[in-house]
Amino acid sequence: MNPAPAKAALNFKAVILALAALLLLACFTTELADSDAYWHLATGKYIVQQRTLPVPDPFSLTTYINPARPGEETVRNFNLTHEWLYQVFMYLAYAGGGYGGVILLRALLMAACAFGAGLWTWRRTQGFYRAMGAAAVTALMASFFNSDRPYQLTYFLIVAVILILEYRRFLWLLPPIFLIWANAHGGFLMGFVVLGAYGAEALWLRVQRKPLADERRFWSVTAACFVAAFLNPNGFQALWVLLAYRASAMQSGLYEWQKPDLASPSFLNLLLLAAVATLVWNRRRARVSEWLLLVLFGAAYLTGVRNSPLLSLVAPALIAIYFPWQRLLPKWTDYAVAALLLAAIATPIVRGQAFQFRSAEWKYPSGAATFLLSHHIDAPLFNTYEKGGYLIWRLWPNGKSFIDGRALSEDVYADYQQISTYTAAARALLDKYKIQAIVIDSFDLYNGTPYVLPLALADPGEKEWKMVFTDAGATVFLRHPPADLPVLAPMQIFAGMEAQCQAALDNETRLPRCARSLGHLFARLGDAAKARRWMSLYLQRRQDHNPADDDFLRGLPGGKP
């Protein structure tokens, strides 16, 4: 047999792997746009500079105003400390490379997860394209969780632990992995799910009188992992805190904690069904560890959308391992795959959605933060929930947030909702917290609903609060602003709302409902031209089709769908 063609084929597969890696980096290097990323960065900076954990909370003015509810102090301390090590990693990445360093850290972890799923498949099948397929599906599902958060390390380490246990090499690495993991993210508990699955398999093999050659070593390392994981600020409180999250109005109301709709033919639902069917079909060959990983990770997915990546790490590999494909691929397959990868790499680059080593400043109150800093305004601040992390990053130590994604006080969250919706108690609550400045955007971008508070404070009859700044990021109100600070005319609130909605349409085309709200708002104000403009923009970008929206546009003077 001539070794030259075989060597050439092997070299070409190395090219394919390199192209696949480049594709993953292109897809996973979107701009830094997650609101929690900023308070993670601020916390990492605080720990590095102060050389201590952020307890008591240094960043929010409201954390300790209200008495803690039963168990809330434990949850609060956990939220402040359980991700400290990854927050340090994030800040060091930022210190070394700016936002690009943080994005690159995220992209490398996500790409490693996808390649890990492929390597697991390769270990079991020696099938190059089976491994590529598993990696591709894992990467596709991971792309929906393309955020700069500590859970990215959890997904990477889950794959790392699986690979170590599959290859039965470097078992000594597991205790230090768990030591790092337990100080970086509460998801280290899922590492024990993996150890438990392989431990159950070891017990089953012993019952079958086929014990593992390294069984004693495995159990010794597992025991060491428990000891190593306990060496973190919270021990094993993560499990209790997860249960507390379920009872929390702040946490349970978030989309990421909602249960998936099993009646929907979503890709993940079909993936779970296909993986179960694959193992059932191959029940005589499927291993105990594989069944347990699928059942336990599948159960985690069914408890909350945020656990979707757990299923996407396991299901594609199991399907690829057991899929009954026996046909040989034609010789031109490598060239076709390389061409597809090149086209796939070019697509996000041409669209400007790859290698975005920057922060999504359009999404956050960048201009408002600069305004407050330049005018040395450090008065007690009220802000919208999603923007608190960014304001911590920009304003601290001179300014603190009212509320942010760390979810530290149930009472503050309840008061926040009353203030932002401008209930009858809103003004009394602003007085309770001694708020002197407000930074607020105009819409909940996900449903397009306008916030009531800025419209109420921009009313021409308002005597106490005055609008002093507005742009495409946010609007700033001050209670009794200084005489030398220019005050904006009340009608400027609408210019700010339009600028903020336009920024959303320009940068996040999947969220156009603010344009619908503006169409209805301007119709009520009697400005038919602006009502037509915004409703037309909404109809061009809408994700659904509601005939009432078409009828609304037709009913406007000069309107047509």
Residue 8, pLDDT score: 62
Cβ neighbors of 189 (< 8 A, separation 6 or more) are 236, 238, 239, 242
Q: Tens digit of pLDDT for each residue in 421-446?
A: 999 999 999 999 999 999 999 998 88
Give the whole-number percent of the chain exceeding pLDDT 90.
Answer: 84
- The tally of CA atoms less than 13 A away on the side-chain side of residue 310 is 25
Q: How far apart are CA 57 and CA 39, in angstroms?
A: 12
Note whether 234 and 247 are within 8 A (CB). no
CB atoms under 10 Å from CB of 541, counted, come to 15
361-511, CATH topology level: Rossmann fold (3.40.50)
pLDDT of residue 234: 96
Q: What pLDDT is attached to residue 12?
A: 81
Report DSSP state, residue 108: H
Q: CATH 3.40.50 residue ranges in the chain?
A: 361-511
The pLDDT, as a whole number, for residue 1 is: 47
Weakly modelled stretches of the chain, pLDDT under 70? 1-10, 559-561
pTM given for the model: 0.94
Q: Which of 319, 327, 328, 326 is nearest to 281 (CA)?
A: 319
Within 10 angstroms of residue 249's Cβ, the number of other Cβ atoms is 11
Task: Look up residue 352 and give its two tokens.
Answer: 């400007």
Which pLDDT does position 559 carry in this prediction?
59
* C-alpha distances out from residue 185 to 7, 88, 145, 148, Å: 43, 12, 16, 13
